[in-house]
Amino acid sequence: MKKAFLIILSLILININSRAQKEGLASIKKENLKSHMEFFASDEMKGREFGTDANEIAALYLKTNIQRMGLKPGAGDYFQHMPIAMVKSSVKESYLRVSDDSGRLLSSTDSILQILPVTTALEAEGRLVFAGFGYEDSTSGYSDLKGIDVKDKIVMLMTRTPEMAKNNVAGDMIMFQVEMEKIERLMQKGAKAFIFVFDPGHIVKDPFNSIYYGISKEGQVVAGDGKYQGFPFILDFIRSPLADKLLAPTGKTIKQYYDEIVTSGKTAAVEIPGIMLSLKSALERTEFDGKNVLGIVEGSDPILKNECIVYTAHFDHVGENAKGEVYNGADDDASGSVALLELAKAFSSLKTRPLRSVVFAWVNGEEKGLIGSEYYVKNPAIPLEKTLLDINLDMVGRTWTPADTGKFYGMDMDVTKPGEVLMYTKHESSELMKMINSSAVLTSMKVIDKGDDIEAGGSDHESFWAKGVPAVMFHTGIHADVHQVSDDEAKIDYDKMEQITKMVFHLGYTVANRRERFVVEKRPEEE
């Protein structure tokens, strides 16, 4: 009799849970995703850049919605407050000045791009040496530095190496390892400061119309009381026309020197006669209150509700370009942010909630270096030892188009087709992998397992990995509009977004509602 009762009870519970899952899945609708997206990725949101008023409005929008849904605050007022300092180069106070030998000022400009700020305000003065590519190769004996003295001089050089230029290596990216090796060699020889110009064969023709302008404008983020460790030397990028003006006393342009070196294999270094250069790199430091947005759907079990799963997505993007055009970031990562809103609504409206709690963390400052997620794992809403899993959604709104072919900033574009999604995981648990597969089958999704190596850079799940918490990221792939003003709402595939949102709802509910934790065979290594 007792056995029969337990069987009947189990069947009832299975039926209740099945109904709850169906109820949650049915509540997730592409119309709701589109409605949120049309606001969140609009021009009025000005790219939601960390540290701006628009970013604050985005945080308030998220808070208002989850408050209306009835989620419990994951922090005092739904906002997790982070003391932040933004450090970037000061355009107003930085300059390049050219004087003649008598000290008479010939020209001055602030059209210099400092991709990464200096550690502290720096000034340098000296004669100018053009060092070609600034490259040396001990194997072949090639050296751009033969016959020139760079001690106490300011050195101008082209990006890449002669061989890279011949073979068009690196695409539109700066290979910083190559450039830093050049700088280290020049510093050993006593060079004071460095001026880079993109070599004429490079895809980037104007540093102010490239991803590097955005990096410079965004600056670097540090903790509010922290010290920024930047370059201990001046490193400026200039446009080719300015390089030609500086080279004018030699009678040649940067293109002529480039052709000479690449065609003949001969070096072309020269000290520029008759001029002196003065450089200044200054800093701006702005302190502000950064915000994550945290909400909790409390679990139904009086004991297990003290454990949780976490859904994460970053709601910041990169603002506007030099022309005032908005980087709307519809896919990156308004798509993940609005999917979390729909997930929060689905969980909060369930009549039968899962046993464990579900934490929703809209994290901030991902584009500045995982700032918000790193802060969260140090200050979690529910302790990390009671956190079973992080499910991170970063760019889940796109489907392949013919434009998404080839490379993007040196990376292969890998946008998925309808019904497909990429998954990044450390394979911590075979049980978890089975649950992911079941959720994918139920929602007719094909999950492409990419392991844990993200070619396109990191995302917020990595902050959980760094603390030993299992995590998985879902992503629809790199496309031609990443970090471009063309990442617009009109290009979002809402059918696919709805599928993915339903898949991760089912996965999260399954993990949160099991009485036993899934078995972790290989826990991520803690930092």
Going 116 to 118 to 124 to 127, the CA torsion angle's sign is: negative
Q: Are residues 187 and 318 in the same domain?
A: no
Same domain, 97 and 77: no
Token digits of residue 271: 């000290």
Q: Is residue 441 scored above 80 in pLDDT? A: yes
Same-domain check for residues 270 and 292:
no
Q: Which residue has the higher pLDDT, 286 or 271?
A: 271
One domain, residues 175 and 143: yes
pLDDT score recorded for residue 241:
95
The C-alpha atoms of residue 255 and residue 247 are separated, in whole angstroms, by 11
Helices 254-264 and 240-247: angle between axes, nearest 10 degrees: 90
Domain membership flag for residue 25 = no
Q: What is the mean pLDDT of the chain?
A: 90
Q: 507 in a domain, yes or no?
A: yes
**pLDDT tens per residue across span 204-236:** 888 888 777 777 876 777 766 566 677 788 999
pLDDT number for residue 405: 83
H or E stretch covering 62 = helix 53-69
- Does 208 lie in the same domain as 136? yes
Whether 104 and 77 map to the same domain: the answer is no
| Residue 414 domain flag | yes
Number of domains in the chain: 2
User: Measured between alpha carbons, how far is 323 from 241 in angstroms, rounded to an integer?
Assistant: 20
> Could you tell me the end-to-end alpha-carbon distance of the chain, in angstroms, rounded to an integer?
53
16 within domain boundaries: no
Q: Does 58 lie in the same domain as 192?
A: no
- Residue 2, in any domain of the structure: no
pLDDT greater than 50 at residue 348: yes
Domain boundary among 247, 281, 315: 281
Report residue 409's pLDDT band, with 50, 70 and 90 as the boundaries: low
What CATH number corresponds to the domain at position 434?
Answer: 3.40.630.10
Q: Predicted confidence band at 376 (pLDDT cuts at 50, 70, 90)?
A: very high
Mean pLDDT of 384-403: 96
131 and 59 both lie in a single domain: no
Residue bearing the bigger pLDDT, 226 or 311: 311
Asked whether residue 151 carries a pLDDT value surpassing 60, the answer given is yes
Q: What share of the chain is helix, strand, coil (3-state, %, to 5)?
A: 35, 25, 40
Two structure tokens written together for 7? 């069987």
Summarize the confidence of residues 379-406 as an average pLDDT.
95
Please check whether residues 137 and 252 belong to one and the same domain.
Answer: yes
Distance between alpha carbon 386 and the CA centroid of its chain, in Å?
Answer: 28
7 assigned to some structural domain: no
The DSSP string of 425-475 is E----HHHHHHHHHHHHHTTPEEEE-TT--TT---THHHHHTTT--EEEEE
What pLDDT score does 2 carry?
52
Q: Exposure of 78 by Cβ count < 10 A (0-12 exposed, 13-18 middle, 19+ buried)?
A: buried
Q: At what angle do helices 30-40 and 335-348 cross, to 10 degrees?
A: 130
pLDDT tier, 509 (very low <50, low <70, confident <90, very high otherwise): very high
H/E stretch holding 218:
helix 211-218
Token representation of residue 494: 């809402």
Residue 270, domain CATH: 3.50.30.30
Q: Are residues 323 and 208 in the same domain?
A: no
- What's the pLDDT score for residue 325? 93
List, in sequence order, every beta strand (DSSP E) within 331-452: 357-363, 387-393, 407-408, 411-412, 420-425, 446-449
Q: Tell me which of 239, 257, 281 is where a domain ends.
A: 281
12 pLDDT higher than 50: no
Please compute the mean of the pLDDT values over residues 37-58 and round it to a whole number.
96
The pLDDT tens digits for 55-76 are 999 999 999 999 999 999 999 8
- For 442-450, what is the mean pLDDT? 97
Confidence band, pLDDT 50/70/90 cuts, at residue 524: confident
Are 268 and 324 contained in the same domain?
Answer: no
Host domain of residue 144? 91-281
Of 498, 494, 492, 482, the residue nearest 332 (C-alpha): 482
The whole-number pLDDT of residue 172 equals: 55
Residue among 189, 140, 157 at smallest CA distance from 258: 157
Q: Is residue 18 part of a domain?
A: no
Q: Which helix (H) or strand (E) holds 2?
A: helix 2-27
Tokens 């991760």, residue located: 504
Q: Using the 3D structure, point to which of 232, 257, 281 is the last residue of a domain.
A: 281
Say if 237 falls within a structural domain: yes
Instruction: Looking at the structure, tell me whether residues 47 and 73 fall in a common domain.
Output: yes
Report the C-alpha gap between 497 and 407 in whole angstroms. 24
pLDDT digits (tens, 9 = 90+) for 159-217: 999 999 888 775 556 787 889 999 999 999 999 999 999 999 988 888 888 777 777 87
